[in-house]
Amino acid sequence: MKNLPQIPQDFQDKTVLITGAGSGIGQAAATLFARRGARVAVVDIQTEGGRETVARIRAEGGTAEFFEADLSREEQVESVVARTVAVFGGLHCAFNNAGISPRPGPFHELALTEWERVIAVNLTSVFLCMKHEIRHMLGAGGGSIVNTASGAGFVPAPFLPHYTASKHGVLGLTKVAAKEYARHHIRVNAVCPGVTATPMMEATLAQRPDMKEMLAGTVPMGRMGEPAEIAEAVLWLCSDAASFVSGESMAVDGASVCR
Ligand SMILES: NC(=O)c1ccc[n+]([C@@H]2O[C@H](COP(=O)([O-])OP(=O)(O)OC[C@H]3O[C@@H](n4cnc5c(N)ncnc54)[C@H](O)[C@@H]3O)[C@@H](O)[C@H]2O)c1
């Protein structure tokens, strides 16, 4: 980072692939990793957001490329991982974060198509990303992966059975891979954000403005989290400072789900 020499450059030799990096938590993580010296593969289905993230990083002197992909499609995931390695010469860390927040509704009225859409984007995409990232990392001698789950990965979110199931599933995939690949020097962890002030959350609150105070009231700290606060936890989990941490599901939620 040319403009900010005082910031530690502990990711200087690392390439990080970040999904959903065109907005919210993914964008905050992409910016943070780049400031710490990483080369960042910015992956998103939305061109505008992805390009904006790359522009922000480059404006600060960092290194990033945008790769457009629908991560629920295996051929697109495979291509993004291959292009990341081709452009940057490696893949050391991955933050599988892209996701959608569906409209709440009664369980017994949930359409199969809506169930399948949420599972495809929130769970199948994480499976596909991990599969192709791990293939590369096995050949390269190791790596570190962080997946985004949610408080809904630990506890049920009523009226959101599809979202709840997808995020419980992300924690399951995280733990399986952590066990399977521990001896191959691949660490796999999950971050579980609480209510966080991102465009996803803003879209929800635009439909139900009354929910803002109610949601903040459910957080013991009395406020929503900021995307940068989630990004800091992801950076630490990816870093060598977390070298003995794998299979962990880290809540970053102002003490919301602990018991
Ligand atoms: N914001 C919260 O309160 C909160 C709480 C818990 C968990 N999360 C999780 O955090 C993650 C990031 O959420 P956010 O709040 O930053 O949301 P966001 O909507 O701001 O960002 C999500 C990004 O994912 C991208 N995306 C969606 N579908 C995609 C696909 N098929 N392929 C590629 N990219 C796709 C979107 O284009 C968007 O840029 C999600 O997995 C979400 O479930 C968010």
Q: Which residues pair with 93 in a beta bridge?
A: 16, 144
Distance CA 51, CA 189 (A): 27
The pLDDT value given to residue 131: 99
The closest-lying atom of ligand 1 relative to the alpha carbon of residue 22 is 39
Instruction: Assign 110 to helix, strand or coil.
Output: coil
Whether 181 is catalytic is no
Of residues 187, 96, 183, 84, the one with CA closest to residue 143:
187
Q: What's the pLDDT tens digit per position in 11-51?
A: 999 999 999 999 999 999 999 999 999 999 999 999 999 99
User: Which segment of 114-118, 150-154, 196-200 scores lowest on mean pLDDT?
Assistant: 196-200
Q: What H or E segment, with its residue span, contains residue 127?
A: helix 125-140
* Inter-residue contact 64 to 88 (CB < 8 Å): no
Q: What letter does residue 193 receive in the DSSP assignment?
A: E
Tell whether ligand 1 has an atom less than 6 A from the beta carbon of residue 199: yes
Tell whether ligand 1 has an atom less than 6 A from the beta carbon of residue 50: no
Q: Which domains does the chain have, with CATH numbers?
A: 15-197+227-251 (3.40.50.720)
Report the mean per-residue pLDDT for the chain.
Answer: 96
The pLDDT value given to residue 112: 98
Q: Which of 33, 67, 95, 163 is catalytic?
A: 163
Reading the block at residue 112, the tokens are 């199969």
The pLDDT value given to residue 205: 84
The pLDDT value given to residue 122: 98
Q: What's the pLDDT tens digit per position in 168-219?
A: 999 999 999 999 999 999 999 999 999 999 998 888 888 788 888 888 899 9
